[in-house]
Amino acid sequence: MRTKAYASIFRMNWKLELQYRGAVLGGIICQLVFGLILVSLYRALYAGRPQVMPIETVSTYVWLQQAFFRMVLSSDSDLAGKIRTGDIAYDLVRPLSLYGYYYARILAQKSMGSLLRAVPMLVFALCLPRGWGIMAPVSPAAFACFLLGLMIGLCCVSALENITMGITMRTLDPKGIQAMLNLLMMILSGNVLPLTLYPDAWQKVITALPYAQLLDAPIRLYTGTRQVAEAPGALLLQAAWTVVLTGVGIALWKSNQRRLVIQGG
């Protein structure tokens, strides 16, 4: 293993992510508007017919989803371009695993990218009145579990994105497959509608799926929808999916690499 090499790639991409300040600002404004619209929408719905889930929890859920929005959508247009032109093959001249190289890179983009957006957004959401903004975590222990869950979620989503990229390498058309998978991810990760608002029977299925491991699982720990006592189970499920998805991704990339033919070479 070349752990040091992958760590360096991660660091380099962290630094790179810091350079795109314009994109960060744009993202923050966009996600702030979305957050406000969604919260207003749920408040309007609640005004007519209050639900089991308190509005404070729902608004907290919405804000955390919006703050870490950068995590969910596939974001590496550079890599997509490299796959389309076939330039990705040139990365094989390095003594590295292609999967590891891009995993480190995507993980760096997603973690630094969401961190840069999340901090100002959460500060903003904290200033909003109760029922509009974000609540404090239910307990320090819950917060710790949330942070741990968030980190596993980051690994999980990076593994997912590498699978998307692996499929893209076969179809050579990033747009179609990415659009479909992004839609699936938006819905099943709870970004459009909090998963906590789905009927209980649905929730049983949806929360077991990989998409719920990205943000839904840690957010439930933060809001107390899931107790700290249940945390080990939830974190274990996240970790299990991460391992499975990483395994699938590595296998997919390996088989892709075997049939890799450079376009226009």
The residues of the shown chain that bind another protein, judged by CB under 8 A, are: 2, 4-5, 7-9, 12, 15-16, 19, 87, 89-90, 92-97, 258, 260-262, 265
If phi > 0 it is left, if psi is from -120 to 50 it is alpha, else beta; for residue 86 that is left
For the chain, the C-alpha Rg in angstroms (whole number) is 19
Q: Which lies closer to another protein via its Cβ, residue 16 or residue 30?
A: 16
Please report how close the Cβ of residue 92 comes to another protein at its closest, in angstroms: 5
Q: How far is the CB of 23 from another protein (least distance, A)?
A: 13
- Residues 151 and 255: their CA atoms lie apart, in Å, by 28
| Residue 177 and residue 171 in contact, taking contact as beta carbons nearer than 8 Å | yes
CB of 36 to another protein, least distance (A): 33
Name which of 12 and 244 has its Cβ closer to another protein: 12
Q: CA 197 → CA 33, 42, 220, distances in Å? A: 21, 11, 12
Q: Which is nearer to another protein, 57 or 97 (CB)?
A: 97
The nearer residue to another protein, 203 or 257, going by C-beta atoms, is 257
- Given the complex with another protein, which of 151 and 260 has the nearer CB atom? 260
Q: How far apart are CA 103 and CA 171, in angstroms?
A: 20
Shortest Å, Cβ 18 to another protein? 11
Nearer to another protein, 1 or 201 (CB): 1
C-alpha angle 120-125-130 in degrees, rounded to nearest 5: 160
**Shortest separation between residue 265's beta carbon and another protein, angstroms:** 6
Say which residues have a Cβ less than 8 Å from residue 4's Cβ, sequence separation at least 6: none
Q: How far is the CB of 88 from another protein (least distance, A)?
A: 10
Nearest to 159 by CA among 203, 118, 211: 211
- Asked whether 64 and 44 are in contact (CB, 8 A), the reply is no
Of the pair 18, 192, the CB lying nearest another protein is at 18
Residue 204 C-beta: closest distance to another protein, Å: 44
Contacts of 125 (CB under 8 A, 6+ apart): 35, 63, 67, 133, 134
Nearest to 245 by CA among 148, 106, 131: 106
The DSSP code for 49 is: S
